[in-house]
Amino acid sequence: MFNAMIVEKGEDGKTHAAVQQIGEDRLPAGEVTVAVEYSTVNYKDGLCIGPGGGLVRHYPHVPGIDFAGTVAASDDDRYKAGDKVVLTGWRVGEAHWGGYAQKARVKADWLVPLPDGLTTRQAMAVGTAGFTAMLAVMALQDHGIKAGPVLVTGASGGVGSVATAILAHLGHKVAAVTGRPESADYLTELGATEIVARDELAETIKKPLEAERWGGCVDAVGGTMLARVLGQMEYGASVAAVGLAGGAGLPATVIPFLLRGVNLLGIDSVMQPYDNRLRAWQRIATDLPMDKLEAMVSTATLSDLPKLGADILKGQVRGRVVVDVNA
């Protein structure tokens, strides 16, 4: 028997999450059984702990869209008992039982070997948010980061915090956008050289182009802010779009694309091919300063998850939360 955070739905349609003891016979099908050591708290997890947000198809359900741990048993030659592994994406924690349990059973194709130099705790301090941030930075580099500062919107969140630390470590000036003035010191410690108030970019204007300000952008907000930022990019610069906290709509024109050659790069972390996943995790091991990573981390247990799930949906979780499933 082992502990798992189980979300159940009653006849009235309401959900309830609680830690329960279950047996391995309840785990879903898969080639590899992992003794989970750590998971994290992401926006999707908040949805799945609560009413599901349209992500959970079947109840009872174990959320947790990422985890790191040790292989306990494997029917696939690529992995053997004792191997350290990481999982992000593939709709695990949404359509498939996830990492909020002391054991998980998944398809071998969904796993990535833990990179040398990273512990399982560090891997989940990175988690899906940090993995997404690294994908965004790689995309910007592949298209060429220009001379101006790199803008990071939603900088106090998980993706934004890691993106800020990575970009600063790589030698870029980072302008961090936040709606929380109390986060300024935190972002400066991560490496931000400029703090931009969210209100400065939150309103649309009639001009499709403004003065060129940013040499690149990691955008976790979308909506009106993304539309505004597109008109402020340097010629040929790129925006890596990773989120929609500010809305799924894009009230923009095509002018920045046609007159300044701006690139809008969509970043998907869920269905990334294996080779690019491996590349991203290897880059994380070398390009994310671990002291900066530790500065953005807090620790939680399985029993803390219902409250944390509600908090992250309200934008009240800063940085990264590592869930120690064995605590």
State pTM to two decimals.
Answer: 0.91
Count of Cβ atoms closer than 10 Å to residue 1 Cβ? 9
Helix-then-strand count for the chain, H and E: 9, 15
Closest residue by Cα to residue 32 from 97, 108, 112 = 108
Q: What is the pLDDT along the chain (327 residues), one digit of tens a residue?
A: 999 999 999 988 889 999 999 999 999 999 999 999 999 999 899 999 988 778 998 999 999 999 999 999 999 999 999 999 999 999 999 999 999 999 999 999 999 999 999 999 999 999 999 999 999 999 999 999 999 999 999 999 889 999 999 999 999 999 999 988 898 999 999 999 999 999 999 887 778 999 999 999 999 999 999 999 999 999 999 999 999 888 899 999 999 999 999 999 999 999 999 999 999 999 999 999 999 888 889 999 999 999 999 999 888 888 889 999 999
Residue 47 three-state SS: helix
Classify residue 301 by burial, with Cβ atoms within 10 Å: 0-12, 13-18, 19+.
middle
